[in-house]
Structure 1
Amino acid sequence: MAAALIACRGVGYRYPATDRLALRDLDFSVEPGEFVALAGASGSGKSTLCRLLNGLIPHLHGGEVGGALTVAAADPRATPPHRMSRAVGLLLQRPDAQCLATTVARDIAFGPACQGQDRATIARRVREVVEWLDIGHLLERAPHTLSGGEQQRVALAGVLALQPRLLVLDEPFAFLDAASASQLRELLRRLHATGVTLLVAEHRLSEIAADADRLLVLHRGRLVADGPPTEVLAGDVAGWGLEPP
């Protein structure tokens, strides 16, 4: 059996200048190829966990991390984020914060270039993700001129160009209209079918529960549920601040 892609054992986290734990005693693992939904009300710790998995916590945000954590055979606490990004791609909640280059083409190429890839490899990766996401018509556009759904596709293209083994998405449906949300759900299904491991943090269960293999629920920093979505949803999810789909 392949080693777990994510292994958390007693993981906790405290932000700087506070005594309150944002994450408490997390114990779970994620196997290669799984589609895992991470649910929880606002402030439950979803975004904190997403940033911990790719090393933005503690390298960017500081704070204190406890317990044992392995992601793609590395400890994010001891591995710089630029190295973690080779295995763990993170799509932020606000895609406009992730699209920083002057054109879409340059934005997608930025990550592979930072990895030190040669020009031919960069061009090939850009071409592949552009075709896969059908955004060729956007290549010469400035990211800030795009719609929210278009910006998200561009940000996702930049992440996929890094060819991560694990894709983490933090509240990806937050700023999407119904049509864009439907397109994103289809993209996630296609990604999962290619073997990419997905962890999607989302408080709106209707967006992800039907497609996920597993549903994890965070409540006040603790993992309170972990299982098949149908089993978890049969419980009192309202008590955790969630609305059933």
Structure 2
Amino acid sequence: MNVITVEGLSFKYRRAERHSLRDISFSVKKGELVGIIGPSGSGKSTLCLTLNGIIPNSIKGEFRGTVIIRDPRTGEEFNTRETPVPRLSTVVGLVLQNPESQLFNMTVEEEIAFGLENLGLERNEVLRRLRWALEVTGLKGLEREFPPNLSGGQQQRLAIAAVLAMEPAIIVLDEPTSQLDPVGRKEVLGLVSLLNREHGITVVLVEHHTDYILRYADRVLVMADGSIVMEGKPAEIAEEAEELRKLGVKLPPVLEISHELRKRQLLDRVVLTPEEFPSRIGHRAR
């Protein structure tokens, strides 16, 4: 079942000279983790904003094409152009690069409960969702903390918790680790994997750390100049290292080394993780 279907999508911001998105079409199946990579300015963040209706409902511009969201729990379909953002937020959650832009309450629990209270839920249901979001994001025990006092990784996990409490079927994350140190990055990406693999949440992840995308994504979209220029499984995308370099995509060291070893005929194919190196190199050496 496709839970996201994008067809012929183009968008140009008001007063902009060029389109940020150009004739984009793709779909996302229920339960997939789809990674989006590409150089800065390729349209990745703009695409994220179209998936929960912020574009074109809140951010105006020249919008063409369709974005259809299907709630896998009910089968109900929503055209993002015709559906209010608050309604879409119960199906598609959006997490931005900078958690501070999404956090504005005085305590962790108030931050998570804010959206729920706006839905008009009963107190018992608010508390149930609050406890679950705290538990799954590893923030239990920090309920009374002032969000700016949290570490970067904790702040981003709080932003995710606030989205999770809305119980969306799909979560879109726009470079959630771009401002985090390695510890915070590991925390957030570990949580994203948990939500996808163990809780069945469909994930669309924009991430400049291509090593994670190539290791964990089910499919990868490569964007450049507002268009999708490549699409495929991680192993297929990894084969296109030369083209990725030309596009300005930074390749992870494991992929660079892998390609070099294959040139020297020490590997029979490109590998995506360090764990694959020893047995394969040893096998070829014998």
Same fold by TM (over 0.5)? yes
Judge conservation of contact 2:50–2:56 (CA < 8 Å) in 1.
Answer: yes
Asked if the contact 1:37/1:215 (under 8 Å) is kept, the reply is yes
User: 2:217 matched to 1:219?
Assistant: no
- What percent identity do the matched residue pairs reach? 40
Amino acid aligned to 1:240: L
Contact kept? 2:105, 2:111, Cα under 8 Å? yes
| Matched residues, number | 243
Amino acid corresponding to residue 175 of structure 2 in structure 1 = E
Q: In structure 1, how many angstroms separate the alpha carbons of the residues matched to 2:109 and 2:67?
A: 35
Superposed CA RMSD = 1.0
More relative contact order in 1 or in 2 (CA 8 Å, sep 6+)? 1
Counterpart of 2:173 in structure 1 is: 169
SS of equivalent residue, structure 1 residue 226 = strand
Aligned position for 1:58: 56
2:15 match: secondary structure:
coil
Q: What is the aligned counterpart of 1:125 among 129, 132, 153?
A: 129
Q: Find 2:194's aligned residue among 168, 190, 196.
A: 190
Give the conservation status (yes or no) of the 8 Å contact 1:7–1:28. yes
Q: Which AA in structure 2 matches 1:212?
A: A
Aligned partner letter, 2:222: V
- Please list every run of 5 or more consecutive structure 1 residues that lacks an aligned counterpart in the other structure: none
After TM superposition, the structure 1 = structure 2 runs for residues 16-55 of structure 1, keeping only pairs within 5 Å, are: 16-55=14-53
Q: Distance in 2 between matches of 1:119 and 1:76?
A: 30
**Cα distance, 1:14 vs. partner?**
0.7
2:33/2:218 contact within 8 Å kept: yes
Whether the 8 Å CA contact 1:217–1:224 is kept in 2: the answer is yes
| TM-score for both structures, normalised by structure 1 | 0.96
Q: Structure 1 stretches (4+) deviating beyond 3 angstroms?
A: none
For the pair shown, the structure with the greater C-alpha radius of gyration is: 2
Whether 1:240 and 2:247 are equivalent positions in the alignment is yes
For residues 68-95 of structure 1, what are the alpha-carbon distances to aligned partners after superposition, in whole Å with 9 as ceiling and x for unaligned?
2212221111111111101000001100
Whether 2:82 is the aligned partner of 1:78: answer: yes
Distance, in Å, in 1 between the alignment partners of 2:124 and 2:132 is 12
* Residue aligned with 1:83, SS: helix
Gaps of 5+ in 2: 71-76, 253-286
Letter in 1 for 2:249: L
The TM-score normalised by the length of structure 2 is: 0.83
